[in-house]
Amino acid sequence: MTLALISSNFRRLIPEIEGFGDMEQFNLRSRGGMGHLESYYFLPKEVAKKMGLKEEEKPHVRHIDPEVGLWHTVKLTMKGRTFSAEYDGEVLYDKFEFHDWMMNMEP
């Protein structure tokens, strides 16, 4: 129930991107009673395979298991197809650029 509500609310944050909510996936897992983001992707595997996307071209995030009882800061920035991410001040991605076929930015 909670994950469904989080997913629904997250999709409402970016309603102007056509198809948003159809392709992205966020995998959450709980350890020690605290949920953490295990993995995510914004692209169906079949499309990536068809377009010949190489493993090094895919965005990867190291495993993060937040310490229970502490507040953590996550900053995600999207400018067009350029994505940056920080976790507690550590830069995970700095201006990762999605291919034009990966993310449709047309109105």
Q: Mind listing the pLDDT tens digit for each residue in 49-89?
A: 787 878 777 666 666 776 767 777 778 788 877 888 888 88
pLDDT confidence band for 98 (50 / 70 / 90): confident
User: What is the Cα–Cα distance from 6 to 39, expressed in whole angstroms?
Assistant: 16
Q: What is the CA radius of gyration of the chain?
A: 15
Task: Kindly state the helix (H) or strand (E) to which residue 2 belongs, with its residue range.
Answer: helix 2-13
pLDDT of residue 33 exceeding 50, the answer is no
pTM, 2 dp: 0.46
SS3 at position 95: strand
Please provide the average confidence, as pLDDT, over all residues in the chain.
64
Cβ contacts of 67 within 8 Å, gap of 6 or more: none
Place of tokens 């629904």: 8
